[in-house]
A and B are shown apart, each in its own frame.
Chain A
């Protein structure tokens, strides 16, 4: 059973396009996150949502717009893709917001901008 699943796993697209990544978790968690991992493996939080409410927005360009239709889903839409957006994007979830609980990660979406 996949706990946190992301689609697509790979995304190759042209600069300037708009794309979306979907994430779903079946753990019953209240909080979901998006992280970006660069080519040096550095992992940085972008957004967190708790029960569909935005909690953290870490100075991400407004071309990135997360949307949470319900607490089990957190999608990421990216407008006007740029070369620097090439990275691996990870979705994660945890129980509670601000609580000291481990976050569980999906296997990532590898975004390549041509």
Chain B
């Protein structure tokens, strides 16, 4: 089955700086990837997704990069704001969604 790992369990970033959260996956047949944000007391909230036929996708202040060669994806958040403080999960789809362990992002004022 799919194994999903995050590179760093925590990330502290200065307000206004860019954040990068990394994720590795094991199954080269995985073809759909999602980033979720989970705030305290809430459920995971969809941020952005990407299919394996793409290597980059941009949303509002977020960019997801997919490197299928090394089975790695990343989430970049531009101009990080206090409201971006949360736990971020990558999720990888083969026949089901497998979630990574989560990176806790803390934004310093």
Q: Which residues of A contact B (CB under 8 A)?
A: 4, 40-45, 48, 56, 58, 90, 92, 98, 100, 102-108
In the bound complex, residues from chain A placing their C-beta under 8 Å from that of B99 are 42-44
**Is B61 an interface position by the 8 A CB rule?**
no
Q: Which residue of the partner chain B has the closest CB to A98?
A: B95
Contact (Cβ within 8 A) B42 A56: no
Contact (Cβ within 8 A) B49 A102: yes
Contact (Cβ within 8 A) A105 B43: yes
Partner of B93 from A40, A41, A56, A100 at Cβ < 8 Å: A100
Give the interface size bracket for B toward A. Answer: 20 to 34
In the bound complex, residues from chain B placing their C-beta under 8 Å from that of A90 are 43-44
Q: Which residues of B contact A (CB under 8 A)?
A: 31-32, 34, 36, 38, 41-46, 49, 51, 87, 89, 93, 95-99, 101-102
How near does chain B come to A23, taking the closest CB pair, in angstroms? 11
Contact (Cβ within 8 A) A102 B101: no
Contact (Cβ within 8 A) A107 B42: yes
Contact (Cβ within 8 A) A41 B42: no
CB-based closest 9 A-B pairs: A105-B43, A100-B32, A43-B99, A102-B46, A41-B102, A107-B43, A105-B44, A106-B43, A107-B42
How near does chain A come to B4, taking the closest CB pair, in angstroms? 10
Partner of B41 from A41, A56, A107 at Cβ < 8 Å: A107
Contact (Cβ within 8 A) A45 B95: no
In the bound complex, residues from chain A placing their C-beta under 8 Å from that of B36 are 105
Decide yes or no: A43 and B44 within 8 Å by CB, A100-B31, A100-B32, A102-B49 being known contacts: yes
In the bound complex, residues from chain A placing their C-beta under 8 Å from that of B49 are 100, 102
Contact (Cβ within 8 A) B101 A40: yes
Q: Which residue of the partner chain A has the closest CB to B42?
A: A107
Contact (Cβ within 8 A) B32 A48: no
A103 to B45, CA, bound (A): 9
Which of B32, B46, B96, B102 gathers the greatest number of chain A CB atoms within 10 Å?
A: B96
